[in-house]
């Protein structure tokens, strides 16, 4: 990963607060849970993901067909993903400038710091801790109104309450 200026860190943090995703996926391998950090951003045009890769010096851009049901006029989507090995490093770089997704970044960084790649099974305690992190991230990243409006980070629970009160 390249050395970033404060301006670049702030720009990237703003992008992730707005359009990025910071989370974790859980998969099963040989009957055991496997947790993986997810740090990604999606765009309708490829120019922004390519710019991020050029500035940061890592990450991979994937192209895929957009959901024709959700938006029939949209063509391809471009998603930039950071590999497991650089996800926490990237989040540490932009963390001082994150506002809405600060808690998600802290949780993913915490999980990555304790990850081992030795192929051994996780202890019951470590599995429970990662399950807790995954559950908290899922709650932070959940739609507020069921229609895709999201609230994240500090104060998001307050926003959820305000939206629920307006709906009542």
Helix (H) or strand (E) holding 62: strand 60-65
If 0-12 CB within 10 Å is exposed, 13-18 middle and 19+ buried, where does residue 102 land?
A: buried
Tokens of 70: 């959700």
pTM to 2 decimal places: 0.79
pLDDT digits (tens, 9 = 90+) for 36-57: 899 999 988 899 999 999 999 9
Mean pLDDT along residues 3-21: 95
Tell whether the model's pLDDT for residue 148 goes beyond 60.
no
- pLDDT-derived band at 73 (thresholds 50, 70, 90) equals low
């Amino acid at each position: 990963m390249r050395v970033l200026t404060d301006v670049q860190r702030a720009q990237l943090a703003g992008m992730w607060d707005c359009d990025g995703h910071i989370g974790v996926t859980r998969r099963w391998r040989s009957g055991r849970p496997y947790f993986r950090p997810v740090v990604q951003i999606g765009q309708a045009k490829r120019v922004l993901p390519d710019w991020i890769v050029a500035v940061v010096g890592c990450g991979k851009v994937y192209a895929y067909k957009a959901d024709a049901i959700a938006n029939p006029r949209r063509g391809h989507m471009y998603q930039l993903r950071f590999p497991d090995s650089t996800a926490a490093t990237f989040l540490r770089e932009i963390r001082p400038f994150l506002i809405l997704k600060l808690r998600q970044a802290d949780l993913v960084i915490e999980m990555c710091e304790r990850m081992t790649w030795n192929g051994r099974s996780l202890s019951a305690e470590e599995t429970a801790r990662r399950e807790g992190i995954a559950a908290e991230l899922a709650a932070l990243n959940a739609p507020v109104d069921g229609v895709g409006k999201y609230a994240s980070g500090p104060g998001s629970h307050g926003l959820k309450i305000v939206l629920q009160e307006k709906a009542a």
